[in-house]
Structure 1
C-alpha cells in the first residue's frame, strides 16, 4: 500500500503565529534553565541534572523537530485499496477455511506462550491482592472476619500459578525445539 504525503504542500513552522510561539517557548525555557542554575543545581554529564532524576529542559529545536515529526506522520494519507473481485475474496476465504489453523507443531508453542503469560498474570494478581490487603486491613475486626477468605484466595492463586509454571516448563521443550531446530522427545 502506497502512502501519499502532503509534506510538499505544507511547510512546518511557516506561519507568524508559530514563530512567535517558538520565540516565547525559547524565552520560557531559558528562564527556567537560569532558575535551575541559580538554585544550585548545575547540569551533570550529558545534560542531566546530577542531583535530580528529572532532566533539565530541552531546547526549542528539540520541540520543533518533535512537532514536525508528529505533523509529518499526521499528514500521511494511505492510498485507496485496489478493487478486488468478489470471486477472489471468496476463493481466499475458502482456502483459509480449508487450511488447519493449529498444527501438531504449533499447538505446543501456543500452549507454552499461554502458560507463560498466565503465570506472569497470576503473579501480578497475587501481588495486587496482597497490596490491597495491607491497605484495606486497618482494624482488627476486619482482619479477623476477612482473613480466611483472603487466605483461600492466596492459596488458590498460588496453586494456579504453580500449575501454570509446571505446564510451561513441560512445554518449553517445544520452544527449545523450535529455536534450535533439533528434534526432541514428544511432549507428554
Structure 2
C-alpha cells in the first residue's frame, strides 16, 4: 500500500503541523518552568505527562490514513437478466433424459436389493437365537 499511495501534506497541513510543534515546545517548557516535574536521581516523576513530539502525531496521522485506505473487495456485479435466464434454462431442462434414466433405475433396484439384504440379516439373527436355544435345550414359547 505504501508503494501505491504516498501520503502527502498540503501547505495548510504543513502550517498546522508547524503551529502544533511550536505549541508542543511551549507546553513542554511551561511544564518544566512550573515545576510540575520533580527530579530525583536522574529520573523524572510527574502526574502530568510530557506532550508527545510532532513526529509522533505525524506518524499517527499516516497510520490512520493508511487504515482508511484499506478497502474490502467490491461485491460482484449481479445482472437480474442473467439470473432469470439461468432459471428459465433450468425449468426447460428435462429432469429425466435417456442418459440419466438407466442410473435412476439402477438406484431404485439397489434400494430394493438393500431392503431385501437387511431383511435377510434380521431373519438370520432371529434364527440364530432360536437355533442356539434349541441346541441348549431351552424351550421358548413363541407368541
Normalising by structure 1, report the TM-score: 0.35
Where relative contact order (Cα < 8 A, 6+ residues apart) is larger, the structure is: 1
Larger C-alpha radius of gyration, 1 or 2?
Answer: 2
TM-score, length-scaled by structure 2:
0.44
| Structure with the largest fraction of helix | 1
